[in-house]
């Protein structure tokens, strides 16, 4: 399938941007943000928030949809079509199909999108998409070679992407006969299929509102000579309902993308290759679940260490925290309720949605992360469901099932968390550390004075070094400190 950006498309895009600027300029000063899409406010308008009503529809996906139609003709990518894909006779990690894609922001790698077999929350084998990056320009064999553009890194995601490195982490390292593989369980990208991490690697499907904030980490791993395998999770990109923040299938998808990378021809990896796994935020939850599941689900993997940052340790507690009506967390709360309902259809979310909440849930199903963070300030589930879906006993029981810490990992763990985190409370990480440590796990725990969005930039480099140390055979560090109870 060919994608082209013609002069006619450029003209349409320019006209769209002019219209956008005009709409913003004509909005009355101090206009209120209407979460119902009603320009006069309506029952879900957030009073006292100085915002522009015309922005609401843009955040709810209209701008993204229009841009996609202008740039790419609105075509659906057949690679993600799972309607005719069978997993019969397959096992987790088997590759169902693959293709090379053009990824100009990764000049040092060959980038391959894959569809592979994983396991859903019910134990059923399902197709999942992902991406495998194989270094074509690595510095392995050169130990601790500094990168010229290193130094203090601002927390803006786009700056991190442009630099591609952060905080003086060296590249290079030992050269291995069997190339190591590092699986990545990504942080929240959004419920929309166009937000799937793999679509952000392909220039033909990259969309303007889907920014991959882990690009710097990928570059660091590639420049050390490691294969990088990134999962889209069950449902991501494939028009299959995504079980957002449901731990077991997320962890299994992370383990299975490593299995798939080990089977992909031309990577330099073999089934005996050393492997690691890293994830942040939603990805930290997935990585921690992968650590707990790996001994039983993927015991054959030569797993050396796992990194989990900004971990959503307790899905029930995070739902209650987000339900306090914070400025930026309400979109994540909507996505969590949708993901829970997708995983457990018997919860029947639609039966509880108020008429004025219908459009909000429909929007949340198609949004990327920055839209989710900005579009619903102050919203609570009681505003859009009746009775309050998040307070139903059967819902809270399912949320409780996602709690981490009951099983100790058997591989060394690196857990990091900002102690100023405003999205995933810092004490979640302390509880996870204490629970694992009490069960005898090896945990290196790190924290710092940063909030959640900065954590991927300020905390991830230590995780990269942790994985490099495990691959190099250096003994792990454990700084377990069991809190008084």
Q: Per-residue pLDDT tens for 145-191?
A: 444 333 333 333 333 333 333 444 456 677 888 999 999 999 999 99
Q: Tell me which residue has tokens 């109870």.
A: 485
CA angle 213, 219, 223 (to 5 degrees): 165
Q: Which helix (H) or strand (E) holds 443?
A: strand 443-448
Cα dist. 24→51, 52, 62, 358 in Å? 10, 7, 15, 26
Residue labelled with tokens 């956008």: 20
pLDDT band at 140 (very low <50, low <70, confident <90, very high): low
Enclosing H/E stretch for 467: helix 460-471
Topology classification of domain 316-400: 434 Repressor (Amino-terminal Domain) (1.10.260)
pLDDT tens figures, 355-379 = 999 999 999 998 888 888 888 889 9
Report the distance separating Cα 322 and Cα 40, nearest Å.
27
Query: Where in the chain is CATH 3.40.50.1820?
Result: 96-314+402-471
Distance CA 320, CA 396 (A): 10
Decide if pLDDT at 245 tops 90: yes
Residue pair 237/198 in contact (Cβ under 8 Å)? The answer is: yes
Q: List, for residues 44-72, the tens digit of each pLDDT value.
A: 333 333 232 334 444 444 554 555 445 44
Fold of the CATH domain 96-314+402-471: Rossmann fold (3.40.50)
Cβ atoms within 10 A of the Cβ of 63, count?
18
Two structure tokens written together for 429: 């990480």
Q: What's the average model confidence in pLDDT over 229-234?
A: 98
| Higher local confidence (pLDDT), 73 or 346 | 346
With bands split at pLDDT 50, 70 and 90, how would you rate the model's confidence at 38? very low
Higher pLDDT, 131 or 41: 131
Q: What is the pLDDT of residues 373-418, one digit of tens each?
A: 888 889 999 999 999 999 999 999 999 999 999 999 999 999 999 9
End-to-end CA distance of the chain: 59
Q: Are 451 and 420 in contact (CB under 8 A)?
A: yes
**pTM for this predicted structure:** 0.83
Domain with CATH 1.10.260.130 in the chain: 316-400
Strands ordered across the beta sheet of 125-135: 95-100, 109-119, 125-135, 227-231, 181-185, 274-280, 302-309, 413-418, 443-448
- For 206, phi and psi rounded to 5 degrees? -60, 130
Which pLDDT does position 87 carry in this prediction? 97
Residue 280 burial (C-beta neighbours within 10 Å; 0-12, 13-18, 19+): buried
Interstrand relation of 302-309 and 274-280 (parallel, antiparallel or unpaired): parallel
Helix, strand, coil proportions of the chain in percent (round to 5)?
Answer: 40, 15, 45
Separation of alpha carbons 246 and 241, rounded Å: 12
DSSP 8-state assignment for residue 31:
P
Please report which confidence band the pLDDT of residue 430 belongs to, taking 50, 70 and 90 as the band edges.
Answer: very high
Strand 227-231 and strand 181-185: pairing? Answer: parallel
């Amino acid at each position: 399938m060919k994608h082209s950006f013609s002069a006619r498309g450029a003209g349409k895009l320019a006209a769209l941007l002019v219209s956008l600027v005009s709409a913003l300029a004509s909005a009355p000063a101090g206009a209120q943000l209407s979460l119902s899409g009603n320009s006069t406010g309506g029952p879900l308008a957030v009073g006292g928030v100085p915002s522009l009503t015309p922005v609401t529809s843009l955040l709810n996906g209209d701008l993204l949809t229009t841009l996609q139609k202008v740039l790419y003709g609105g075509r659906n990518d057949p690679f993600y079509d799972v309607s005719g894909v069978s997993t019969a006779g397959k096992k987790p990690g088997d590759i169902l199909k693959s293709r090379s894609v053009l990824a100009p922001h990764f000049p040092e790698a060959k980038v391959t999108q894959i569809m592979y077999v994983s396991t859903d929350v019910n134990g059923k084998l399902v197709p999942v998409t992902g991406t495998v990056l194989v270094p074509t320009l690595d510095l392995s064999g050169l130990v601790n070679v500094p990168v010229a553009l290193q130094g203090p890194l601002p927390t803006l995601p786009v700056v991190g992407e442009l630099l591609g490195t952060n905080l003086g982490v060296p590249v290079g390292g030992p050269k291995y006969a069997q190339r190591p593989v590092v699986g990545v369980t990504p942080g929240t990208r959004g419920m929309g299929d166009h937000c799937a991490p793999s679509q952000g690697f392909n220039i033909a499907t990259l969309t303007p509102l889907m920014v991959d904030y882990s690009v710097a980490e990928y570059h660091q791993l590639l420049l050390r000579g490691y294969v990088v395998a990134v999962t889209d999770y069950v449902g991501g990109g494939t028009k299959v309902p995504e079980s957002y923040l449901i731990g077991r299938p997320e962890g299994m998808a992370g383990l299975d993308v490593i299995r798939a990378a080990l089977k992909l021809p031309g990577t330099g990896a073999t089934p005996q290759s050393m492997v690691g796994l890293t994830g942040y935020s939603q990805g930290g939850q997935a990585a921690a679940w992968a650590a707990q599941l790996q001994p039983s689900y993927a015991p054959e993997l030569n797993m050396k260490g796992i990194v989990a940052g900004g971990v959503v340790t307790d899905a029930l507690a995070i739902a209650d925290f987000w339900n306090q009506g914070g400025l930026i967390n309400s979109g994540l709360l909507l996505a969590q309720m949708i993901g829970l309902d997708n995983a457990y259809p018997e919860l029947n979310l639609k039966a509880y949605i108020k008429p004025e909440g219908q459009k909000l849930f429909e929007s949340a199903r198609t949004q990327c992360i920055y839209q989710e963070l900005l579009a619903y300030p102050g919203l609570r589930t009681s505003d859009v469901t009746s009775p309050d879906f998040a307070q139903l006993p059967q819902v809270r029981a399912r949320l409780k099932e996602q709690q981490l810490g009951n099983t100790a990992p058997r591989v060394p763990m690196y857990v990091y968390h900002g102690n100023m985190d405003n999205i995933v409370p810092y004490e979640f990480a302390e509880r996870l550390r204490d629970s694992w440590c009490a069960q005898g796990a090896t945990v290196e725990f790190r924290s710092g004075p940063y909030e959640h969005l900065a954590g991927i930039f300020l905390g991830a480099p230590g995780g990269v070094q942790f994985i490099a140390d495990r691959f190099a055979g250096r003994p792990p560090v454990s700084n377990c400190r069991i809190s008084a109870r």
